[in-house]
Amino acid sequence: MRNFYFILFLILISSCSTPYQKSGLTGGYKEYVLGDSTFKVTARGNAFTSLEKVQNIVLVRSAELCSKYDDVVEVISSNSRFKTNLYSTPSQPVTTYGSNQTSTVYYGGSTGTVSKPRAEIVFKCREYSELNTNEDELEKSSDYGVKYFSAKKVLQYIKPTLE
């Protein structure tokens, strides 16, 4: 009976996607200070979380950290992937006893995979003055959205999708 409650508990805690939160049982983000205004943010989701949502979690957290420094996130490196685990369930024998013979049939037993998204970003918080630009000029740049992005815009447009 304890196994039933344990399995029910696992189903209940994993039945929804990862919320925007510090890393916990159902996933979330972790942050690391690498230097003066340089950070690394990693996020992991559960099997019900999309890769896009985990990517948005690292973007929002990086924007929150940089909003203290003045609005520009300079991406040094980023990475997204799935961690895939293989699982199998055992088969169950059912034995039938007859008057002259006995037969055993095996039911169930399966193999499957569970994929959990992961994302990370290493970045430096910058001020527009450090880059010799302003918000409008940066948004017109070919590096905008690739190497640089506005922390204010991420918090304005992407953060609400995580709440």
User: Can you give the pLDDT at residue 128?
Assistant: 87
pLDDT digits (tens, 9 = 90+) for 100-133: 888 888 888 888 888 999 999 999 999 888 888 8
Kindly state whether residue 101 falls inside one of the protein's structural domains: no
Cα–Cα separations (whole angstroms), residue 44 to 23, 39, 124: 8, 17, 21
Q: What is the pTM of this model?
A: 0.77
Kindly state whether residue 3 falls inside one of the protein's structural domains: no
Amino acid identity, residue 94?
Answer: V
CA dihedral of residues 135, 141, 147, 149 (deg, nearest 10) = 30
- Convert 28-57 to b/e letters by CB count within 10 Å (16 or more is b): bbebeeeeebebbbbbbbbbebebebbbbb
Kindly state whether residue 96 falls inside one of the protein's structural domains: no
Kindly state whether residue 12 falls inside one of the protein's structural domains: no
User: Can you give the pLDDT at residue 79?
Assistant: 95
Radius of gyration (C-alpha) of the chain in whole angstroms: 24
Low-confidence ranges of the chain (pLDDT < 50): none
Nearest partner of 163 among 62, 80, 56, judged by Cα:
56
User: Can you give the pLDDT at residue 32?
Assistant: 96
Kindly state whether residue 53 falls inside one of the protein's structural domains: yes
At a CB cut-off of 8 Å and minimum separation 6, what does 119 contact?
Answer: 42, 43, 51, 54, 55, 57, 58, 78, 79, 80, 81
How many structural domains compose the chain?
1
At a CB cut-off of 8 Å and minimum separation 6, what does 106 contact?
Answer: 91, 92, 93, 94
Domain that includes residue 128, residue range = 17-84+115-162
Kindly state whether residue 157 falls inside one of the protein's structural domains: yes
User: Can you give the pLDDT at residue 136?
Assistant: 87
User: Can you give the pLDDT at residue 70?
Assistant: 64
User: Can you give the pLDDT at residue 11?
Assistant: 57
Task: Please give the Cα distance from 73 to 130 (Å, whole number).
Answer: 12
